[in-house]
Amino acid sequence: QVQLEESGGGLVQPGGSLRLSCATSTNIFNFYVMGWYRQAPGKLREVVAQVTPAGATNYADSVNDRATISRDSAKNTMSLLMDNLKPDDTAVYYCNAYDIRATTRYDLWGQGTQVTVSS
């Protein structure tokens, strides 16, 4: 089974930047959509950004001009760079992956990393 592990969360001041990383146990980028989701207290889990095997990216409207998702195939890592962070960005951020070859979508998740934006 593919293992996902997030890192890079922490406390950041409003307007600051943060880079989150997701390490994968094997090279899966050729067949898996990779993404970042987040869940804030009292809210549903929502997608933040995704990147397809072909390299196409998609961002939530709330972060579309402040986030960049990328992959490093040599290191089997996926990253999310967020700029101009806001208190509303506070949430647990989860690494996500699913195999585009599967007939039924099955999501793989990391354990999550806490991001807190506060002064």
pLDDT, position 56: 98
Q: Amino acid letter at 102?
A: A
Backbone angles phi, psi at 70, to 5 degrees: -150, 165
User: pLDDT tens digits, residue range 9-45?
Assistant: 999 999 999 999 999 999 999 999 999 999 999 999 9
Pairing of strands 113-117, 10-12: parallel
User: pLDDT tens digits, residue range 52-103?
Assistant: 999 999 999 999 999 999 999 999 999 999 999 999 999 999 999 999 999 9
Residue for token pair 């890079």: 8
